[in-house]
Amino acid sequence: MFTGLLFYVFSAVLVAAAIGVITSRNPVHSVLLLVLCFFNSALLWLLIEAEFLAIVLVLVYVGAVMVLFLFVVMMLDINVVRMREGFTRYAPLGLLVALIVVAELFYVLWVREAGLPGMDSPVPLPEGYSNTEAVGAVLYTDYVYPFQLAAIVLLVAMVAAIALTMRRRAGLKTQDVSRQVAVRREDRVRLVKIEAERE
């Protein structure tokens, strides 16, 4: 009963935050509401005892990805009035998307009405079951090749991103940190012994 209540509370916050993401005028508020969305979905995952996925969602998306998002969005200087002008221009497209979503909802309801098998509600897992171990065991045995492949794709993407953005202009006066670190006192400072002058 209690977990059921929690489920509805978290879901309500999740949906409200998701609506807030698309309706709020200020992009920084949108990003923050998206963070709230992620956080609440993590809590929903906790309710079905997927603690590893939940914590990793918070760690990766909330802790790293969204920080970078916020980083970029904070630096935008957005004119709110101009943004509202686009509203009527994109209204037909928005209506189309809304219609598709409504159609999908009806489809889901129809599936339930038709008595087709859906997801069972999750059963409590046995004592001593570790979600982390279970995910690891599957990831490193059955799916080890796809997993490694995904890792390599990510690595290549990362290298490509760095290669695309790294430009060296000539004539820049950037500091070479390793040379700065390698400096010894003898290179920079010369101690001179000066005889005291007497009147």
- Judged by the rule CB under 8 A, the positions of this chain that interact with other proteins are 26, 28-29, 32, 35, 51-52, 55-56, 58-59, 62-64, 67-68, 70-71, 74, 130-132, 175, 177
**Residue 15 Cβ vs other proteins, minimum distance, rounded to whole Å:** 21
Closer CB to other proteins, 176 or 197, in the complex? 176
The amino acid at 72: V
Nearest distance in Å: CB 86, other proteins? 23
| Helix, strand, coil % in the chain, rounded to nearest 5 | 70, 0, 30
**Closer residue to other proteins, CB minimum distance, 89 or 169:** 169
Q: What is the DSSP letter of 62?
A: I
Q: Which is nearer to other proteins, 14 or 61 (CB)?
A: 61
Query: Which residue blocks in 49-172 are alpha helix, DSSP H?
Result: 51-57, 66-74, 80-89, 91-113, 131-140, 144-165
Using alpha carbons only, give the angle 174, 179, 183 rounded to the nearest 5 degrees. 130
Minimum CB–partner distance for residue 185 and other proteins (Å): 15
Phi, psi of 51 (to 5 degrees): -70, -30
Residue 52: CB minimum distance to other proteins, A: 6
